[in-house]
Amino acid sequence: MSRSLLRLESRVARALAGIIHEMQDPRLPMVVTVERVRISADLFRARVLISALERAEETAQLLNRAHGYLQEELAHEVPMRRVPRLSFHTDPREVL
């Protein structure tokens, strides 16, 4: 994996953590952590590993439904040629 892709994954993880923290959705738990982001080499897809203190699976489903909003906000935060389609997971095996 290239060093630039690793840096991009790190920037996307930090940006998504901030965006999720600022979301005003009462269904989201108070603490949602972005553990890891894996972006495909073609930048079309990004798999995001999250953890939450409660209702982690529901939180992942909620974030998957809000992926359009999150992608739009991510485009404002991190300059990229192509904003990847986000998918949120709670199982680390799905993000490797």
Rounded CA Rg of the chain: 12
pLDDT higher than 80, residue 79: yes
**Which residue ranges form the domains of the chain, and what is each CATH number?**
3-94 (3.30.300.20)
Query: In which band, very low, low, confident or very high, does the pLDDT at 81 lie, cut at 50, 70 and 90?
Result: confident
Reply yes or no on whether the pLDDT at 96 is more than 90: no
Mean pLDDT of all residues in the chain?
95
Q: If you average pLDDT over residues 7-28, what whole number do you get?
A: 96
